[in-house]
Amino acid sequence: MLDDAQADGDAAATTSLSGQIVVLTDARFADPIPLAGSGTMRVPTPAGDKDVDFTPAGYSADDVLVGPGWFSVFPDDTVTDAGLGLLGTWSLQDVPASGSTTFDLPVLSGSLLSTIYNDLDTPTSPHSNAAQVVLVFERNGQRLAGVSLTSHPSCEMVAYDLGVGFSTQSSATSDSGLVLLVNTVGTGKVAWKSADGETDSLTLVHVPGQASYAVIEVP
């Protein structure tokens, strides 16, 4: 279980990380581009979350907990990536035991989400008093079709990918392996089941007015 991963003995191990902040700007959330701006991020450490600054050149952070953990990235208001409408973004990351100079952390585009939401079966828009959640299901690093959510926090609607585009009428992921929790306001775990019967869950971190992004590896 992902929720128990930091309870074992390996969770006390730490490492140093460095990399870039990247923006996910395409509807498959698959082609990140470097963020041309600065801001702050929070990384999990044995003493709790630690604030770290980042610049267009990237970031570096010491004493980061090894294993699954939630990171957050908050671009400065002065970031000038035109039209992206960047959101403060929480992402679930599996930190390797050794540092990586290519350990990149994502930021979601509110403008992209607005475009996707406007094309849903019942069009809507991101609400400032709700969180926007993007879940990516993979197996062996490849996007996984046939994954269905069996429970999730309260939200306006759940949208599954259609390979290209999204639908609130679908009940499982298609080739892009994506699920969107649109305007999430409730608490509780996200649980899922794959087409071949694998099940698992995680406790979702989400904050009103911000975004959450998790790439979930299904056994």
Residues 94, 50 share a domain: yes
The residue-averaged pLDDT of 87-109 equals 89
121 and 200 inside one domain: yes
What CATH number is given to the structural domain containing 131?
Answer: 2.60.40.10
Last residue of a domain, one of 109, 141, 175: 109
pTM of the model: 0.91
Question: 50 with 99, same domain?
Answer: yes
| Structure confidence at residue 188 (pLDDT) | 86
Same-domain status, 154 and 94 = no
The domain in which residue 33 lies consists of 2-109
Interacting residues of 218 by C-beta distance below 8 A, sequence separation 6+: 137, 138, 139, 144, 147, 192, 194, 198, 200
Q: Does residue 33 sit in the same domain as residue 64?
A: yes
On whether both 76 and 120 belong to a single domain, the answer is no
Residue where a domain stops, chosen among 76, 94, 109: 109
Answer whether 45's CB lies under 8 Å from 129's CB. Answer: no
Would you place residue 4 in the very low, low, confident or very high pLDDT band (cuts 50, 70, 90)? very low
pLDDT in the model for residue 82: 53
What is the per-residue pLDDT across 47-90, written as a single tens digit (0 to 9) for each?
999 999 999 999 999 999 999 999 999 999 755 455 678 999 99
- Is there a single domain that holds both residue 97 and residue 192? no
pLDDT band at 97 (very low <50, low <70, confident <90, very high): confident
Question: What pLDDT shows up at residue 69?
Answer: 95
Task: State percent of the chain over pLDDT 70.
Answer: 90
Alpha helix positions (H), 31-188: 110-118
What mean pLDDT is reported for the chain?
A: 91
Q: Is the confidence at residue 7, as pLDDT, over 50?
A: no
The band of 3, judged by pLDDT with boundaries at 50, 70 and 90, is very low
The tally of domains found in the chain comes to 2
Q: Do 46 and 128 belong together in one domain? A: no
- pLDDT score at 115: 96
CATH number at residue 20: 2.60.40
Domain boundary residue, one of 109, 124, 150:
109
Same domain, 135 and 213: yes
CB 182 within 8 A of CB 155: yes
Q: What span, in angstroms and rounded, lies between the C-alpha atoms of 146 and 195?
A: 5
CA 153 remoteness from chain centre = 15
Asked if 114 and 100 sit in the same domain, the reply is no
Q: Write the pLDDT tens digit of every residue in 9-21.
A: 444 799 999 999 9
Q: Between 76 and 178, where is the model more confident?
A: 178
Mean pLDDT of 87-112: 90
Same domain, 90 and 157: no
Whether residue 126 sits in one domain with residue 102? no
